[in-house]
Every structure is written in C-alpha cells, then in structure tokens.
Amino acid sequence: MARRILVVGAGKSTSYLLDYFLEHAAEEDLLITIADKNPQAIPMEVQKHPRAEVTALDIADEVARRSRVEQADIVVSMLPPSLHLEVAKDCLHYGKNLVTASYISEGMRQLDAAVREKGLVFMNEIGLDPGIDHMSAMQLIDRIKASGGRMLLFESFTGGLLSPESDTNLWNYKFTWNPRNVVVAGQGGAAKFIQEGTYKYIPYHKLFRRTEFLEIEGYGTFEVYANRDSLSYREAYGLQDTLTLYRGTMRRVGFSRAWNIFVQLGMTDDTYRIENSKGMSYRDFTNLFLPYSPTDSVELKLRHYLKIDQDDVLWGKLLEINLFDPKSKLKTENGTPAQLLQEILEESWRLGPEDRDMIVMYHKFGYEKDGEKHQLDSNMVVLGESARHTAMSKTVGLPVAIGTLLILNGKVRTPGVQIPIRREIYEPCLKTLESYGIGFREYEVPYLGYNPDSVGN
C-alpha cells in the first residue's frame, strides 16, 4: 500500500517541493495528497499526475483537516506560520510526524514533551532561512570543533534578490517571497547581537542605517542589516562562548537607505488602520504622513521633511514606485499603513514571467586553533529558472522535501520539536541539495574579527 504524504498549503514555495515528491513517488511508493484552499491554482501537470491527489481544504474545517491528517503517514505544513499549530496538534493526536519550514513558535515549542513521549519527529525550520543556514552552519561548526578549533565568530546573512539580468529597477529588488514579511521586517523590538564580547542593540528606527557590506565574487557588493534576534541560536549552535554572533538580511547596496524613508514616514506601521483607504490615491496616501502646507506640493513637502535633494537617487526610487501618482488607487479597505504600502509596492515589484530571482547566503566562521586565529568564509548563490520555478521555492521547498523522505524512511529518528542541526539530518540533506546545484564555496581569509570600517553609519 502506497505511503501517503499530506502537503497542506500549496503556495509559491511549493513548486520544487511537489516536483521532488512526484519525481520520487514511484521508487518510494508514495501518494502525495495536496490540500489547499484554492486547488484550482495548482499546476495541471501536478493535478494530473497519477501519484498526486489534489483536494480542497479549508484549514478552519476541523473535521476535514483531522480526517486528512489521520489518513497520512507524514504531514508537511506549508501554511502561513500562524496556522501550523492546529495541524501540529492533529499530528500529535494521530501520531504523525510533521515537517515545516517555519520558525518554531512558542505554541509549537510547548508540544515538545508530548511529541517526545510519542516518539514523533516534528522538524521545523528546514527551508532556506531558517533551514539551509542552520544545516550549512552546523556542518562547518562541527567540523571546526572536531579538528580542535574553538569558535570565536559566526556571522550569517541571507538575501532573496534578483538574478543580474532581471535586476531592472532602481531599487534592485522585486518580491520573491511573502511581501508582508518584507514590509514589516525588523519590527517588534530592537535587533540584538554580540560583537567582540559586547552586546549590541539597534532600535527599529535606526535599523536600516546600520549596514555591513559584503563582496561576493562574480556578483558584486551587497549590504546587510541585522536580524531582530541573532542570539536565539547561540545555545542550539553550541556557541555560548563565541565573542561575535550576528545574523542579517542581504540586499543590494542602497536599498536600506531608501527603505528607511518608509520607516521614518511611518508607512511600515502595522498597529493602526487608516479609515476610508479604499479608493484613496497613492498621492493622498503619501500626503497623510507629511505636514500640512497650503502652498507646497506633496513632493516638495516630502523632500523638505526628509532632506532629499531632487537629484538624489532616492528621489528617483520614490518616483519609480508611483508614490505621488494621483490616478493609482488603493484597493484595501481600512488598511494599516504597512498593508497599503505593500499594495503599492506589489504593483511595481511583482516578478514578471521572464524574471529570475537569486538567493545569496554568506557565512563567516572565526576560530582559534593551536594558538592561531583563522577565518573561513562560505557562500552560496542559487539562480531561479522562471517566475514559478524560483530560486526561493527551490531553496525552501527542496530541503523540506528531502527532510520529509529522510524522516519517512526512518533515517532521522531523534524525537521532539526540533530544527535541523543534528548530523543525521544535515549531512544527507546537504549532500542531496548539492546534486540539485545548491552548494557552498569555502575559502580561507585572514582573521579580521570585528571590523568597524565595514559597518555603515
């Protein structure tokens, strides 16, 4: 009897995930059930595959949801993070292993003891970031420690960007994953990390003006802004004594300075709603955040307010997204500033049918061995194939799929709510990813430690 994999949610990040399962379905004797609220959006070649079963599922329908979980041998949840928990509780009830690409929520963490007691594997954070970052980092950290090295520094950066030939706008950016996550990035508290043994905090209103710069051979220069909490993995990675631990998000140089305009205006705020936003012009929306003037135009008020010269490249970026257009109208009813900004940006930053995206990941490892300090840098660049088969969906979906089969085949047995930091999961997963063109280039560089000259103002 075929083994059933239930995939709940079939959004943008699932194209390679589903392809991988269906490629291996015959040899592994799999039946893939794909349950989604909008099954008609699933590509026809998937719907017609003899080893695929596509079904409509409203995740709020408890009876239907639990029935699907009960029939499965393992469950993959590709739902938005806030919806994983109910599926997880169903998996616990019916004794099913679970795989997600999302950060472990507090609710998920509280299931750990019960999951261990039942001998189940609830593997989370096995996508790109989090996911490939964990596995590739732990592989090298374990190797350095096994050779007698003592970790001094670990920095890790990831960016979902554009392939050079599709990098066609002044922002050097288009949405390659959930736009909302981009718009609200960095909110919810100060970014915190440790550098040369000193704790550092960057408040949200300063986050996008504190950037570090990186060079990747063949792809040029990138900038990095700090993630909200770089210290949460200190214990998981075994880096309690490491002097520097810093994780960040990569963009092309100049993006953060321009994004800071939205932060300073208050357009990224998601805590209140703007009445009667539906039908409001982009120009009127922008004017909401500017001082009143009976004579000055919206453009002039913004330039004066933020001290932007007319020949500044920042001004060109604002014009490019039609921020002052009186004819473009908002469609969201009573939206938050962040929701309305997202709507505006989606009009300009949507991937075109011929666009290709690019994933970049960069690690720095500093360590001491035999009394000498060393630095090992490692980077990965993955290019997308099309607007559907993106580098983002490849680097998120393939680790999920590979990890799912490893668990289903009994090669990953450690029970509990966990992330992929053990050798039993990261070694085979990274090896398989390499066969799909997802691999890292490593090189030794002089140990620099904390370099203040590389940090922006």
- Please indicate, yes or no, whether residues 178 and 214 belong to a single structural domain of this protein: yes
| 169 and 278 part of one domain | no
Q: Are residues 214 and 363 in the same domain?
A: yes
| Predicted pLDDT of residue 113 | 97
Q: What pLDDT score was predicted for residue 447?
A: 86
**What is residue 424's predicted lDDT score, i.e. its pLDDT?**
96
Q: Are 113 and 158 part of one and the same domain?
A: no
Are 337 and 226 found together in one domain? no
Asked whether residue 302 falls in the same domain as residue 434, the answer is no
98 within domain boundaries: yes
Residue 369 belongs to domain with CATH number: 3.30.360.10
SS3 of the chain: CCEEEEEECCCHHHHHHHHHHHHCHHHHCEEEEEEECCHHHCCHHHHCCCCEEEEECCCCCHHHHHHHHHHCCEEEECCCHHHHHHHHHHHHHHCCEEEECCCCCHHHHCCHHHHHHCCCEEECCCECCCEHHHHHHHHHHHHHHHCCCEEEEEEEEEEEEECHHHCCCCCCCCCCCCHHHHHCCCCCCCEEEEECCEEEEECHHHHCCCCEEEEECCCEEEEEEECCECCCCCCCCCCCCCCEEEEEEEEECCHHHHHHHHHHHCCCCCCCCCCCCCCCEHHHHHHCCCCCCCCCCHHHHHHHHHCCCCCCHHHHHHHHCCCCCCCCECCCCCCCHHHHHHHHHHHHCCCCCCCCEEEEEEEEEEEEECCEEEEEEEEEEEECCCCCCCHHHHHHHHHHHHHHHHHHCCCCCCCEEECCCCHHHHHHHHHHHHHCCCCCEEEEECCCCCCHHHECC
Does 250 fall in a domain? Answer: yes
Does residue 415 lie within any of the structural domains?
no
Residues 357 and 343 in one domain: no
Tell me the residue range of the domain where 283 lies.
274-348
Tell me, yes or no, whether 450 and 321 share the same domain: no
Tell me, yes or no, whether 409 lies in a domain. no
433 domain residue, yes or no: yes
| pLDDT at residue number 53 | 94
pLDDT at 451 (0 to 100)? 52
In a domain, residue 413? The reply is no
Same domain flag for 342 and 373: no
Query: Last residue of some domain: 331, 348, 365?
Result: 348
User: Which pTM was predicted?
Assistant: 0.91
* pLDDT at res. 456: 36
10-residue averages of pLDDT along the chain (457 residues): 92 88 96 93 90 92 95 94 94 97 94 97 96 97 96 96 94 90 90 94 95 92 93 92 94 96 96 96 97 94 93 94 97 97 96 92 96 95 90 95 97 96 97 96 84 42
Provide the domain count of the chain.
3
CATH number at residue 98: 3.40.50.720
